[in-house]
Amino acid sequence: MSIKVTKRHGHSFRDKLYLPAIYDGVKVTFKHLFHNVTNINEVDTLRYPEEQPTDITSRWRGLHRLTHRADDSVACVACFMCATACPSNCIFIEATEREDGHDEKMPASFFIDTLECVFCGYCVEACPCDAIRMDTGIFSLTGNKREDFVMDKEQLLSHKGAYGEEISCARD
Amino acid sequence: MKFAMYFMGEYVAMNTASAVIITMIFGGYQIPWVSTEMLQENFSIFAISIMLIMPIIVSILIRWMQKNNTVRPSVATDDGRNFETKVLTIVMIGMTLLVEAILIYLAFLTDSALANSLAITLFQIAVFVVKLMMFNMFFILIRWTVPRFRYDQVQKLGWYYLLPLSLFNLAITAIIIVGVTS
Ligand code: SF4
Ligand code: SF4
């Protein structure tokens, strides 16, 4: 069996001078620069915000929403599973008794501090009622003060799912 | 903001280095092989060539702007850029006309040496700025090409190749100077 010998580079005089190689590199860089400057619309950079991303898939974790039941009432049963699973402890739920005959409990208030949220999606996986989802496709969240980023129950309920299936699959 | 100051300092240093290099080695504010006296003596030729070159450069710029200052055709929602292109086109054409008018006045309608010198000085400032930008571009190109150079290679390049080269240069220069003057 013969031994395979790999030829090493960098020992010729030209290689040791470095400058010829740098010159070749500059030529390549300049070619790209010239092409990109003269054909700006061919550059694969998104001209945000005029252009919006088109490659957000249904599995992508965007801003949260709380789903509804068929009669538009909140699907959440305030079981605190999501708040327990949340690694950044940013879900704050207050439970109250439910009077409309669906279940025993519902959230009186439901806050998610999106500044602390790491968008891990554990809350979605923990929920037994398919009541919380991250399929809104909302990727940019702006506000003037920190309080603007704490989503309350009404805001979370008002978010629409971006990929159909408006109501909860587990509660009707 | 702190980071912006730091980063701007980097670019200020680059500008300074470019300015020093241009002043020391690349002829400062002169265009190659043309001295200030030559420009002053042949002012009308100088003025006419500027009057010819400037519209060409401006039309290239405007064409570039019309082609590239647009949103991608797939997103045809924005008219702001078209408006911007329009305004800038008008401004650039107006500036060109102004410069042409001034040059025509200087070249044909008056022969005040002071005004001519002032025009030449302004032109030379522009030459310096163009050179400065070219050198900045060169700096940036090198940075794009070799973002992380190996320090041992730079040392080797300097000590083994550039230093002997400059010593050689010194010797040759000395020989020529002595040979020519004696
Ligand atoms: S995505 Fe993760 S961090 Fe954010 S609220 Fe849900 S569990 Fe908490
Ligand atoms: S969102 Fe789901 S996991 Fe969280 S409290 Fe409501 S039902 Fe329970």
- Looking at the fold, whether B156 and B120 belong to one and the same domain comes out as no
Q: Cβ contact (<8 Å) for B142 and A26?
A: yes
CA A132 to chain CA centroid, Å, is 15
Q: Is the pLDDT of residue A127 over 90?
A: yes
- Looking at the fold, whether B75 and B160 belong to one and the same domain comes out as no
A56 assigned to some structural domain: no
- Looking at the fold, whether B173 and B112 belong to one and the same domain comes out as no
Q: How many domains does chain B have?
A: 2
Tell me the pLDDT of chain B averaged across its residues. Answer: 90
Q: Cβ contact (<8 Å) for A47 and B161?
A: no
Q: pLDDT tens-digit profile of A16-65?
A: 888 898 899 999 999 999 999 998 888 888 878 777 888 888 889 999 99
- Looking at the fold, whether B99 and B111 belong to one and the same domain comes out as yes
How many Cα atoms within 13 Å fall on the side-chain side of residue A40?
12
pTM of the model: 0.68
CA A20 to chain CA centroid, Å, is 45
- Looking at the fold, whether A40 and A74 belong to one and the same domain comes out as no
Start-to-end CA distance of chain B, whole Å, equals 61
- Looking at the fold, whether A69 and A40 belong to one and the same domain comes out as no
Q: pLDDT tens-digit profile of B1-46?
A: 888 999 899 999 999 999 999 999 998 898 888 888 888 888 889 8
- What residue of B is the nearest CA neighbor of A37? B68
Distance A126 CA to ligand 2 centre (A): 8
- Looking at the fold, whether A94 and A151 belong to one and the same domain comes out as yes
- Looking at the fold, whether B56 and B115 belong to one and the same domain comes out as yes
Whose CA is closest to A65, among A167, A171, A172, A170?
A: A167
- Looking at the fold, whether A79 and A39 belong to one and the same domain comes out as no
| Choice among A165-169, B98-102, B140-144 with the minimum mean pLDDT | A165-169
CATH label of the domain that carries residue A92: 3.30.70.3270
Query: B138-148 b/e with 16+ CB inside 10 Å = b?
Result: ebebeeebbee
Q: pLDDT tens-digit profile of A130-164?
A: 999 999 989 999 999 999 999 999 999 999 888 87
Which H or E run includes A105? strand A105-113
Which residue's alpha carbon is at the smallest distance from atom 6 of ligand 1?
A123
User: Whose atoms come closest to the Cα of A89: which ligand?
Assistant: 1
Q: Is the pLDDT of residue B126 over 90?
A: yes
- Looking at the fold, whether A22 and A91 belong to one and the same domain comes out as no
Query: B51-63 b/e with 16+ CB inside 10 Å = b?
Result: beeeeeebeeebe
- Looking at the fold, whether A28 and A102 belong to one and the same domain comes out as no
Long-range contact list for B57-63, CB < 8 A, 24+ apart?
B58/B92, B58/B93, B58/B95, B58/B96, B61/B92, B62/B89, B62/B92, B62/B93
- Looking at the fold, whether A72 and A145 belong to one and the same domain comes out as yes
- Looking at the fold, whether A12 and A90 belong to one and the same domain comes out as no
A50 assigned to some structural domain: no
- Looking at the fold, whether A37 and A71 belong to one and the same domain comes out as no
- Looking at the fold, whether B119 and B165 belong to one and the same domain comes out as no
Q: Cβ contact (<8 Å) for A18 and B77?
A: no
User: How far A40 CA sits from the closest chain B CA (Å)?
Assistant: 6
Q: How many domains does chain A have?
A: 2
- Looking at the fold, whether B34 and B114 belong to one and the same domain comes out as yes
- Looking at the fold, whether B36 and B105 belong to one and the same domain comes out as yes
pLDDT at B76: 63
- Looking at the fold, whether B81 and B142 belong to one and the same domain comes out as yes
Long-range contact list for A148-151, CB < 8 A, 24+ apart?
A149/A113, A149/A114, A149/A115, A150/A111, A150/A112, A150/A113, A150/A114, A150/A115, A151/A63, A151/A64, A151/A111, A151/A112, A151/A113, A151/A114
- Looking at the fold, whether B159 and B137 belong to one and the same domain comes out as no
- Please compute the mean of the pLDDT values over residues A11-20 and round it to a whole number: 86
- Looking at the fold, whether A32 and A72 belong to one and the same domain comes out as no
Q: pLDDT tens-digit profile of B139-178?
A: 999 999 998 888 998 898 899 989 999 999 999 999 999 9
| pLDDT classification of A15: cutoffs 50, 70, 90 | confident
- Looking at the fold, whether B78 and B157 belong to one and the same domain comes out as no
Give the domain extent around B61: 2-148
pLDDT at B75: 67
A170 assigned to some structural domain: no
- Looking at the fold, whether A142 and A112 belong to one and the same domain comes out as yes
- Looking at the fold, whether B90 and B35 belong to one and the same domain comes out as yes
Q: Cβ contact (<8 Å) for B73 and A30?
A: no
Which residue's alpha carbon is at the smallest distance from atom 4 of ligand 1?
A117
- Looking at the fold, whether A34 and A109 belong to one and the same domain comes out as no
- Looking up tokens 């996986």, which residue turns up? A125
pLDDT at B167: 96
A122 assigned to some structural domain: yes
Give the domain extent around A111: 65-158
Q: What are phi and psi of B99, to 5 degrees?
A: -60, -45
Which residue's alpha carbon is at the smallest distance from atom 2 of ligand 2?
A127
User: Whose atoms come closest to the Cα of A128: which ligand?
Assistant: 2
CA A17 to chain CA centroid, Å, is 48
User: How far A23 CA sits from the closest chain B CA (Å)?
Assistant: 9
Contact B39, B120 (CB under 8 A): yes
Q: pLDDT tens-digit profile of B53-94?
A: 999 999 999 999 988 888 777 766 666 788 899 999 999 999
Helical pair B2-24 and B113-145, crossing angle rounded to 10 deg: 120
pLDDT at B72: 75
The set of protein residues with a Cβ atom below 6 angstroms from ligand 2 is A 76-82, 93, 126-127, 129, 131-132
